[in-house]
Structure 1
Amino acid sequence: MTASNTTMVFASPATDEETDKLAASDPAVPWQTVVWDDPVNLMSYVVRVFREYFGFSHEKATQLMLAVHNDGHAVVAEGPREQMELHAQAMHDYGLSATVRKAPR
């Protein structure tokens, strides 16, 4: 193959930004809300927050709290980016550390 038959495509910041915008608005692209361990909040408080905000059963909330405590983090929700950002903000409002990330595929 000669150079004249080869097409090179380079991603630019504008292209990457556009891709991020498309991914953010595409409801088929799953995102996650992750709650991180901290040295401040009691385990009982984290269970209460998970039950109160997400409506988890006591068992599910305890399981997630133990994952946060033992593994350093836990995925507490998965869905559209905008909803996950709302969940992360709510966790911040409760005093918990939370972030949003793309779900692994």
Structure 2
Amino acid sequence: MTAAPTLPAVEGRTDEHTRRARGWQTVVWNDPVNLMSYVVHVFRTYFGYPRERAERLMLAVHHDGHAVVAEGAREQMELHAQAMHDYGLWATVREAPE
């Protein structure tokens, strides 16, 4: 048996495979409406994060203006962002940096 030939790497390639390999992120943004305790509650309830992690993420949202709350496949990150919207939080999906 012979191995299948491999294609040479193409620098700067941004096809779907490359985007999937890098992954996606759900980002929660600071807002003037929700209490910090509520944001912790959402992170613990929806993501199942322990109190310490939920509080650390909430503080990043509060002090830095945003926090990455999940990373993974684009479809899953879109579901997470929609769930955050359903809880009344501001959230977006973005490609994970290289």
TM score, norm. by length of structure 2: 0.81
For residues 25-44 of structure 1, what are the structure 2 equivalents within 5 Å?
A: 27-44=20-37
Change in 2 beyond 3 A, CA 1:23/1:94: farther
TM score, norm. by length of structure 1: 0.76
Q: Distance in 2 between matches of 1:53 and 1:89?
A: 12
Calculate percent identity across the aligned residue pairs.
Answer: 73
Q: Which is greater in Rg?
A: 1
Aligned to 1:64, the other structure's residue is in SS state helix
Q: How many residues align?
A: 85
4+ residue segments displaced more than 3 Å: none
Structure with more of its chain in helix, by fraction: 1
Counterpart of 2:7? none
Residue segments in structure 2 that go unaligned for 5+ positions in a row: 1-13
Q: Which of 68, 72, 76 matches 1:75?
A: 68
Counterpart of 1:13? none
Residue segments in structure 1 that go unaligned for 5+ positions in a row: 1-15
